């Protein structure tokens, strides 16, 4: 990552689920720069998971925009996934490992990053 690189940009997104449930994440225009850590807090059903799914390109906003590393997550999913990992909060949804640390290592190791470097990267984000 380049110093000061914008990692995430969100501008007033709206998502409509198949059952016509509308989730508006407006008033939440924000930018996350390289090196910053952000927590997403809110009541059940307020859109936290919907936001994450938009950042990963799993969902496409009906309105508004989302950029990750300057890219559209829906159109450039694979380029973003090389640089982003997700650990689910539900232990039953963990990928492979018995620990969160092992799950974080999964991506970098599978992209050919040497184990020592992958472990250092994982420790840096925990």
- Indicate the DSSP class of residue 12: E
Query: Which residues in the chain are classed under CATH 3.40.50.300?
Result: 1-84
> What pLDDT does 29 receive?
66
Average pLDDT over residues 66-77: 91
Report how far apart, in Å, the C-alpha atoms of 116 and of each of 33, 43, 96, 100, 123 are. 26, 38, 19, 17, 11
φ/ψ of 120, rounded to 5, equals -65, -40
Q: What is the distance between the terminal CA atoms of the chain, rounded to a whole angstrom?
A: 18
Who has greater pLDDT, 91 or 33?
33
Q: What is the pTM of this model?
A: 0.69
- CATH number belonging to the domain at 1-84, selected among 1.10.510.10, 3.40.50.300, 3.40.190.10, 3.40.50.1820: 3.40.50.300
> What pLDDT does 72 receive?
94
């Amino acid at each position: 990552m380049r110093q000061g690189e914008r990692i995430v940009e969100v501008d007033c997104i709206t998502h409509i689920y198949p059952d016509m449930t509308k989730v508006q994440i407006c008033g939440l225009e924000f930018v996350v720069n390289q090196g910053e850590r952000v927590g997403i807090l809110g009541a059940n059903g307020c859109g936290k998971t919907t936001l994450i799914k938009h950042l990963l390109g799993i969902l496409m906003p009906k309105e508004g925009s989302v950029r990750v590393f300057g890219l559209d997550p829906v159109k450039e999913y694979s380029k973003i996934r090389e640089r982003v990992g997700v650990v689910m909060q539900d232990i039953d949804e963990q990928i492979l490992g018995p620990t969160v640390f092992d799950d974080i290592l999964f991506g970098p190791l599978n992209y050919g990053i040497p184990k020592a470097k992958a472990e250092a990267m994982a420790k840096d984000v925990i």
